[in-house]
């Protein structure tokens, strides 16, 4: 997602037919942003990704057809939270 020419969001969509599509999309986003080496230094030693794309990025989205999870740059995979519409509920006012 670009706003005034600046990349503010990156979304990775995977087919729901593959095994663990959200995990695969999250892994791909971590690779694009060159974060896998920091999270798992014993598994990844190569420089990978295009860090320039993520300098102004505010939101990462991993999705398949049925589910979407979002996080900010630097978040580990377990920090990607379900994204969706929720009904607003009225807050009680303290007396």
Mean pLDDT confidence for 33-56? 85
75-94 pLDDT, tens digit each: 999 999 987 655 555 656 66
Query: pLDDT at position 6, please?
Result: 86
Q: Over 80: is that where the pLDDT of 35 sits?
A: yes
Query: pLDDT at position 11, please?
Result: 93
More confident residue, 47 or 70: 70
> How many whole angstroms separate alpha carbon 91 and alpha carbon 30?
37
Q: Over 90: is that where the pLDDT of 44 sits?
A: no
Mean pLDDT confidence for 18-46? 90
DSSP string, the chain: -EETTEE-EEEEE--TTSSSHHHHHHHHHHHHTT-HHHH-TTT--S--S-GGGGSS--EEEEE-SS-EEEE-TT--GGG-EE-------PPPPP-
Mean pLDDT confidence for 23-31? 93
Residue extents of the structural domains in the chain: 2-82
Whole-structure pTM value: 0.78
């Amino acid at each position: 997602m670009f706003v005034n020419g600046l990349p503010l969001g990156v979304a990775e969509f995977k087919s729901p037919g593959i095994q663990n599509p959200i995990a695969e999309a999250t892994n791909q986003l971590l690779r694009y942003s060159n974060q896998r080496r920091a999270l798992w230094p014993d598994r990844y030693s190569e420089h990978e990704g295009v860090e320039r794309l993520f300098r102004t990025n505010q939101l990462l989205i991993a999705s398949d057809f049925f589910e979407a999870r979002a996080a900010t740059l630097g978040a580990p995979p377990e920090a990607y939270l379900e994204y969706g519409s929720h009904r607003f509920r009225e807050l009680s006012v303290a007396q």
